[in-house]
Amino acid sequence: MTNTMTYKGYAARIEYDDDDGIFTGQIAGIRDRVGFHADTVEDLREAFHEAVEDYIETCARIGKDPQKAFSGQVMFRVSPDVHRKAVIAAELAGKSLNQWAEEVLDRAAG
C-alpha cells in the first residue's frame, strides 16, 4: 500500500508495514533523508508535520537552506525516435517542445 501526504509544500511517500503493523513515511524531493512512523493515520500525519518542522528548524540552526524549490530545468536523454515523435506532437499541438513536454510531465505527475 502506497500513498502520499503533503504539508507546507513538502510531500511524503507513505507505506504500511504489515509485519510491524505501522505506517512509515519519507519526505520526498530533498537530498536529506527524513523519515517518520506511527501506528495510526492521525498519528502519522502529526509525525509528518513534526518531521517537516524539525527539518526546517534544523536547517535554520545549522545555517542551511531547506530544500524545497526546484530550478525548473530538467535535463534528460531520449532515443532519437522519441525525440522526433515529441517534436512532431508539440508542433501539431501548436506549442514549443518545452511547453508540450511541461504539459505532458504535469499530467503524468498528477
- How much is the pTM? 0.67
Between β-strands 10-17 and 22-28, what pairing exists: parallel, antiparallel or unpaired? antiparallel
Beta carbons of 38 and 22 less than 8 angstroms apart = yes
User: What pLDDT band is residue 2 in, cutting at 50, 70 and 90?
Assistant: low
Q: Which residue has the cell 505506517?
A: 23
How many other CB atoms are found less than 10 A from the CB of residue 41? 13
Give 61-95 pLDDT, tens digit per residue. Answer: 999 999 876 778 888 999 999 999 999 999 999 99
The dihedral built from the CA positions of residue 10, 14, 109 and 6, taken in this order, carries a sign that is: negative
